[in-house]
Amino acid sequence: MEEYNAVRDYLLAQDQAGALAPFKFSSLISLERYSPPKADVLAYLDQGAPAPPRAARADMVVEKEDGSLARIAVKVNLPSPSTWTRVPVIEGRDEVFHQVLGITAAEHTTPMREMVTEMVNGPLYEIITVIYEGASRLANNCTTKCMGLRQVGPHQVVIPEAGDRSKFDVYSTFGLERRLPGVDGGNTRAFQGSYLHRLSHITFDFHTLAEGGPKLVGINLMGTVYSTVEDVLAAWNDPANSAWREWTIPMIDSQEDALYATFQPRPGSTRSPDKPLAAISFDPYGARYKIDRNKVMWMGWELELAESKRGPKWYNIIFKGERLAYEISHQEAFAAYGGHDSGLHHTQYYDGVTYAQGYRGSEMVPGIDCPLNAAFIDSFQALGGGGRGRIGRRAWCVFEYDTALPLLIHDFTPGVGGGGVRNTALVMRTKLTIGNYDYIQEMQLHLDGSMHVNAVLSGYMQGSSYVPTVSQLWGNQVEVGMGSALHDHTMNWKVDLDVGGRSNQIEMDRVVPWRFNDNANRLWTSKKLDKMISQTEFGMNMNPATPMKLVVQSTEKTNKWGTPRGYAIHSTPHHQVYPHDDPALASFAWTKYNVAVTKFYDGEWTSSLEQDDIFPGAPALNFDSYLNGESIVGEDLVLWVTSGTYHIPHSEDAPVTPTTHGNKAGFTLIPFNYFDENAAMDVSDLFTADGTVPKAEKPLPMIMKWANDGACVPSYENVPSAFA
């Protein structure tokens, strides 16, 4: 943290002294550890070359002489900053354009809030008080049935001509929300489950052009947009719309009024009150992992944890003395919404570049977020980039867990033999809480050399009114008048594997039908493999109708059987449904592919850049520029893996989204001809059936061994039935 603050202060002092000329410092985008060139790091790790000097990388917005803004990046020496040098922002580009909205809250947000308040408290109040049963007028220090005003989603910007940011058009939508009178006079949304209290039976749409203040362009009532307050009143009073008066939402005066959105116990009986504690995990001989600062070691594995603005990173992943991956890092968590109000259907969140999710690791609770036998690691969080850093307590946990599914198994028939290997895994987990949402991000290492990278979703949905006959197109009802809106969670990881060294290639093993005539001239249908080496960079989608395995292979090393050593990747298939000719896709082009493969460049370090979220269609970085036809045979390769899920809101999403409902994104890397046999045959918890122990007692040896060795184990006298 001292270093972070020192670099920040040093750069500000440099700017004050005019040393950044011709640039003038404007703001800090990020300040992180500088990643030295990979070749230098490998020379140090593998060949005894000197360690590359430690340094920090600062990405800054600077003002140029002509007044325009640009993004540059500098490297600053550590631990005591005294020099800085420019480094490329992204491969081949020392500077990229940078644009902010250039309008202040006073010019933009304040007038919109005032206009909405005037309409809600004035001509529309009769409608409001009917729909939102008895709602008070918008006011400070509200005492009953309180409402607040809030913007729906982020501002969205349309640029009519690519690159011409002087002609932008900002879309903003405002709506109402329920507030609690007891909390700050009903002024804030600081109460449990407030995210599920957003009201959108009526919302207000504005456009702000580069010149001129915001203009009201529409009022959305019950899913239909009207141009003026008069049109809204006419529609409300039209007898054809009389049903609207029944589509009401009760206001809340206490937390109990909205139990559905809270973790408070529900009325009625509790399940299993006499045995309130479920199965727990423990390490009978003590932890088998070791943690040394950010380095984690376990059962032949070692790697280093790091955090970045975009999410967790795992570096230098080694198994049984060989490097499998140089870097696996989370890049972006993208969520694009649909909904009956324009705030929702314009909403696209970039939780990495915009909300710095990597710095939002929230404190994890032993026994809830991670098992009781987990070790916890604090993290450094540089929120906001320009602000001072802070320590995130218990932001990571590390633990070995019993998957309760054998890794290898065959029947233990006495005299015949068989055996098994228990499947335990080492988990390194962090939980990123970004506003309403929680992303549990983890890496799991297995005894056989497999790696899983998971992002599991929980937390509150972004609430929305449930308007009968309208909202069903975007979800389901979760409470009286309340719902949420359809959205996706699309995530991207950078996967820099080094399989048997840096010289790699991609083999696609497709399973294809094979028809043939036998000697009796009968037609048979079977199947075979169509193996192909990919020649140039590509992005592709997995299709269950054309099954295939994508294997990263060494072009230099084979296993004992002469097969190129390899690692295969399985990802949870997820497709962005936007048509590929949609101009906004330029800002999140990586969502088009399950997997893209590129040749490694130090400068191609990320798949998205800051600010490209609010100016879709004219990004500073279009990921497709990485896919420029270079050869990928015998090269150092990077896989850009996209996985995710569609979130269709349903009633069991209240109070929060459960981790069981398939809300899981991620991928698995499995050894594929990398070893000569399964790599887990050397572990101590291998069972061999030797024919001397009766079958019924087979689970016993390990438990007995623990007891005989006097290791600290729970009292098994209390649970004899399972093993008797």
- Binding status of residue 574 toward Cu ion by CB under 5 A: no
Distances (CA, A) of 465 to 247, 291, 332, 645: 10, 48, 29, 23
Beta carbon nearer to Cu ion, 446 or 647: 647
- Among 604, 599, 595, 643, which residue's Cα sits nearest to residue 622? 604
| Element at 323 (helix H, strand E) | strand 322-336
CB neighbour list of residue 432: distance below 8 Å, 6 or more residues apart: 311, 351, 357, 358, 360, 361, 362, 438, 439, 441
Question: How far is the C-alpha of 89 from the C-alpha of 604, rounded, in Å?
Answer: 9
DSSP secondary structure letters along 195-217: GGGEEEEEEEEEEEESSS-EEEE
Beta carbon nearer to Cu ion, 302 or 488: 488
Beta carbon nearer to Cu ion, 330 or 647: 647
Least Å distance, CB 654 to Cu ion, is 13
Site string (291-320) toward Cu ion, x via CB under 5 A: ------------------------------
Least Å distance, CB 461 to Cu ion, is 6
Question: How far is the C-alpha of 558 from the C-alpha of 564, rounded, in Å?
Answer: 4
Beta carbon nearer to Cu ion, 53 or 658: 658
- What letter represents residue 584's amino acid? A
Q: For residue 167, report the phi and psi dihedrals to the nearest 5 degrees.
A: -115, 35
Question: How far is the C-alpha of 398 from the C-alpha of 400, rounded, in Å?
Answer: 7
- Among 438, 491, 364, which residue's Cα sits nearest to residue 658? 438
- Among 420, 384, 308, 350, which residue's Cα sits nearest to residue 623? 350
Least Å distance, CB 264 to Cu ion, is 23
How far from each other are the two terminal CA atoms of the chain, in whole angstroms? 56
| Element at 120 (helix H, strand E) | helix 109-121
Least Å distance, CB 657 to Cu ion, is 6
- Residue 711 pairs with which residues in a beta bridge? none
Beta carbon nearer to Cu ion, 37 or 662: 662
Least Å distance, CB 475 to Cu ion, is 10
Beta carbon nearer to Cu ion, 201 or 647: 647
Beta carbon nearer to Cu ion, 553 or 657: 657
Site string (154-183) toward Cu ion, x via CB under 5 A: ------------------------------
- Among 303, 307, 351, which residue's Cα sits nearest to residue 329? 307
Positions in 630-669 near Cu ion (CB under 5 A): 647
- What letter represents residue 190's amino acid? A
Least Å distance, CB 482 to Cu ion, is 16
Beta carbon nearer to Cu ion, 449 or 649: 649
Least Å distance, CB 574 to Cu ion, is 13
3 state SS of 452: strand
Give the alpha-carbon dihedral of 150, 152, 153, 157, to 10 degrees. -110
Beta carbon nearer to Cu ion, 360 or 647: 647
Beta carbon nearer to Cu ion, 119 or 654: 654
Q: For residue 475, report the phi and psi dihedrals to the nearest 5 degrees.
A: 155, -160
Least Å distance, CB 441 to Cu ion, is 15
Beta carbon nearer to Cu ion, 646 or 706: 646
Least Å distance, CB 663 to Cu ion, is 7
Least Å distance, CB 54 to Cu ion, is 39
Q: Where are the alpha helices (DSSP H) in 543-652?
A: none
Burial 222-259 (b: 16+ CB within 10 A, else e): bbeebeebeebbebbeeeeeeebeebbbbbbbebeebb
Beta carbon nearer to Cu ion, 179 or 647: 647
Least Å distance, CB 336 to Cu ion, is 11
Q: Which residue is nearest to Cu ion (CB)?
A: 647
Least Å distance, CB 311 to Cu ion, is 17
* Tally of CB atoms within 10 A around 199: 24
Least Å distance, CB 410 to Cu ion, is 41
CA atoms within 13 A on the CB side of 67: 1
# binding residues, Cu ion (CB under 5 A): 1
Q: What is the length of the chain?
A: 724
Least Å distance, CB 437 to Cu ion, is 7
| Element at 398 (helix H, strand E) | strand 390-402
Least Å distance, CB 665 to Cu ion, is 11
Cis peptide bond prior to 276, omega within 30° of 0: no
DSSP classification of residue 717: G
Contact (CB, 8 A) for 140 and 107: no
CB neighbour list of residue 491: distance below 8 Å, 6 or more residues apart: 330, 331, 332, 333, 334, 455, 642, 643, 644, 665
Beta carbon nearer to Cu ion, 179 or 340: 340
Beta carbon nearer to Cu ion, 550 or 656: 656
Integer Rg of the chain from CA: 29
Token pair of 512 as six digits: 């294809």
- Among 321, 300, 298, which residue's Cα sits nearest to residue 401? 298
Least Å distance, CB 595 to Cu ion, is 23
Contact (CB, 8 A) for 590 and 492: yes
Beta carbon nearer to Cu ion, 465 or 657: 657
Least Å distance, CB 477 to Cu ion, is 17
- Among 491, 475, 390, which residue's Cα sits nearest to residue 440? 491
Beta carbon nearer to Cu ion, 98 or 647: 647
Distance of CA 168 to the CA centre of its chain: 29
Beta carbon nearer to Cu ion, 571 or 663: 663
Beta carbon nearer to Cu ion, 3 or 479: 479
Least Å distance, CB 255 to Cu ion, is 24
Q: Which residues bind Cu ion (CB under 5 A)?
A: 647
